Amino acid sequence: RQRVLDRLVELSKIFIYDRDLKKFVTNMDAFDSLLCAWVALQADRGQVVKFKSDLPLESGWVQIPEL
C-alpha cells in the first residue's frame, strides 16, 4: 500500500498528511475508501480512460483513472 500511495501522490499531485498516510497504509478499509473517493473524483472530472462506445452499459465496467 505504501508504494501505491507514494506513486499516487507523485503522479496525481494530491497531498496526504503523514498521520493519514500511516492510517491508509495500516488500515485496508481506509486505503480502499481513499482509492474509491479518488477514482470517483477523477470520473467526475472526466479524467478516466474512455472505453469503446459499443460496450454494453450493463456489463459493469469500472472507471480507470488517467494518470
pLDDT tens-place string over residues 25-38: 999 999 999 999 99
* pLDDT at residue number 48: 84
* Full pLDDT tens readout for the chain, 67 residues: 999 999 999 998 889 999 999 999 999 999 999 999 999 999 898 888 887 777 676 766 777 777 7
User: For the chain, which residues make up each domain, given as ranges?
Assistant: 2-59
Beta bridge partners of 65: 48
Burial of 26 per CB tally in 10 Å (0-12, 13-18, 19+): exposed
Rounded Cα–Cα distance for residues 45 and 49 (Å): 12
Provide the 3-class DSSP secondary structure of residue 48. strand
- pTM, two decimals, is 0.76
